[in-house]
């Protein structure tokens, strides 16, 4: 026997549960977008009026970030996991309190998921153990949502940097061969890459800024590799540092590195093309072959059945 017999009350409770879930997911997405906007604003030179306008638009997001940060510090104030810090850095979140915001968002979403338990108890007539199981499933899904978004952001960022790295190396080769120094060529390539990949250009500009502030180029390039998490960046860093250390021609080293990258990209493309034949086998067996079988064998089977019935 249901606990609530009024259909209107049941509709209100269902709407409230849906609203809480949407608010939780939307809050996580808003936290991600607000952090990305603030990071871009902190790096780009903007007018004071534009900054004031952007700050006015992001007051709500900043409030959510502050709340999540405080909850994260309360939940895990002892230490920050190096793996979490590295994952956030690879995804483009460099703020000092980024791990606290991340943990705070997980705690908030977990709390929202647990709030679904009393609503389900009131709105449905399911058994108690099934209701508890559904509430725990919703809570765990919401709790793992920030990890899923972080992994997707990290993968998309690494893919974008890996995609435009060969073009950047070619531009560096052209600039260095034209007589520019490595720092000037690096800065020029960063300005050109900003039009096609903002995150890659920001990383290059940050590396050049560290060198101008007195950090050794080897350390700055190592930081560049650690921030991006791309293996090709580490190889490029080693090539540039060795060329500068031993006094070899930087243009020749860049040209050899670009050639090796093209060969690796060609080999990867061939490998992906070879895998496609195996991956297409399952859709063909499940969808294409049954349709072809019906089209080809169907008319012949109908004629055969007609002949047998007539005979």
C-alpha 207/C-alpha 226 separation (Å) is 11
Q: What is the pLDDT of residue 57?
A: 43
The model's confidence at residue 267, banded by pLDDT at 50, 70 and 90, is confident
Q: What is the pLDDT of residue 213?
A: 86
Assess whether 184 and 135 both reside in one domain: no
Task: For residue 13, give its domain range.
Answer: 7-158
- The residue out of 158, 175, 198 marking a domain boundary is 158
Q: What is the pLDDT of residue 140?
A: 86
Cα angle for residues 147, 72, 66 (degrees, 5° grid): 105
Assess whether 112 and 202 both reside in one domain: no
Q: What is the pLDDT of residue 71?
A: 61
Q: What is the pLDDT of residue 246?
A: 79
Per-residue pLDDT tens for 145-182? Answer: 888 988 899 999 988 888 888 888 888 888 888 888 88
Closest-CA residue to 107 (of 13, 15, 14, 31): 31
- The residue out of 158, 193, 223 marking a domain boundary is 158
Higher-scoring residue by pLDDT: 305, 54: 305
The model's confidence at residue 212, banded by pLDDT at 50, 70 and 90, is confident
Assess whether 27 and 153 both reside in one domain: yes
Assess whether 105 and 171 both reside in one domain: no
**Residue pair 44/136 in contact by the 8 Å Cβ criterion:** no
The model's confidence at residue 89, banded by pLDDT at 50, 70 and 90, is confident
How far the first Cα of the chain sits from its last, in Å, is 62
Assess whether 27 and 142 both reside in one domain: yes
**Residue pair 62/30 in contact by the 8 Å Cβ criterion:** no
C-alpha distances in Å from residue 259, one per residue of 164, 169, 170, 285: 15, 10, 10, 40
Q: Is 2 inside any structural domain? A: no
In the predicted model, what is the mean pLDDT of residues 206-229?
86
Q: What is the pTM of this model?
A: 0.63
Assess whether 77 and 127 both reside in one domain: yes
Assess whether 44 and 154 both reside in one domain: yes
Assess whether 137 and 73 both reside in one domain: yes
Q: Is 191 inside any structural domain? A: yes
C-alpha 88/C-alpha 90 separation (Å) is 5
Q: What is the pLDDT of residue 117?
A: 66
Higher-scoring residue by pLDDT: 120, 195: 195
Assess whether 219 and 268 both reside in one domain: yes
- The residue out of 142, 158, 174 marking a domain boundary is 158
Q: Is 296 inside any structural domain? A: no
Averaged confidence pLDDT in the chain: 76
Q: What is the CATH number of the domain that holds 225?
A: 1.20.81
Q: What is the pLDDT of residue 133?
A: 79
Closest-CA residue to 119 (of 3, 25, 6): 3
The model's confidence at residue 68, banded by pLDDT at 50, 70 and 90, is low
Assess whether 226 and 94 both reside in one domain: no
Q: Is 301 inside any structural domain? A: no
Assess whether 128 and 12 both reside in one domain: yes
Q: Is 42 inside any structural domain? A: yes
Domain count for the chain: 2
In the predicted model, what is the mean pLDDT of residues 283-290?
80
- Judged on CB neighbours under 10 Å (0-12, 13-18, 19+), 278 is exposed
Residue 59 has pLDDT above 60, yes or no: no
Assess whether 167 and 83 both reside in one domain: no
Structure tokens at 20: 């809480």
Residue 96 has pLDDT above 50, yes or no: yes
């Amino acid at each position: 026997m249901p606990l609530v017999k009024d259909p209107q009350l049941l509709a209100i409770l269902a709407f409230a549960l849906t609203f809480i879930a949407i608010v939780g997911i939307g809050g996580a997405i808003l936290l991600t977008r607000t952090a990305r906007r603030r990071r871009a604003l902190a790096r780009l030179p903007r007018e004071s009026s534009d900054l004031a306008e952007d700050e006015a638009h992001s007051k709500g997001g900043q409030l959510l970030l502050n709340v999540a940060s405080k909850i994260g510090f309360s939940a895990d104030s002892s230490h920050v996991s190096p793996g979490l810090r590295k994952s956030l850095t690879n995804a483009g979140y460099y703020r000092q309190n980024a791990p606290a915001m991340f943990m705070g968002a997980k705690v908030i979403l977990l709390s929202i998921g647990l709030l679904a338990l009393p609503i389900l108890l009131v709105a449905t007539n399911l058994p108690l153990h099934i209701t508890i199981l559904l509430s725990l499933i919703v809570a765990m899904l919401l709790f793992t949502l920030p990890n899923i978004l972080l992994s997707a952001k990290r993968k998309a960022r690494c893919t974008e940097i890996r995609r435009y790295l060969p073009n950047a190396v070619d531009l560096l080769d052209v600039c260095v061969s034209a007589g520019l120094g490595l720092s000037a060529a690096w800065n020029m390539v960063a300005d050109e890459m900003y039009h096609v990949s903002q995150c890659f250009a920001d990383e290059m500009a940050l590396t050049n800024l560290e060198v101008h502030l007195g950090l050794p180029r080897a350390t700055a390039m190592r930081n560049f590799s650690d921030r991006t998490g791309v293996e090709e960046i580490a190889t490029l860093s080693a090539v540039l540092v060795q060329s500068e250390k031993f006094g070899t021609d930087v243009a020749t080293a860049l040209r050899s590195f670009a050639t090796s990258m093209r060969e690796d990209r060609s080999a990867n493309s061939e490998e992906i093309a070879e895998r496609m034949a195996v991956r297409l086998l399952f859709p063909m067996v499940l969808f294409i072959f049954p349709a072809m079988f019906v089209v080809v064998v169907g008319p012949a089977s109908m004629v055969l059945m007609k002949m047998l019935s007539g005979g």
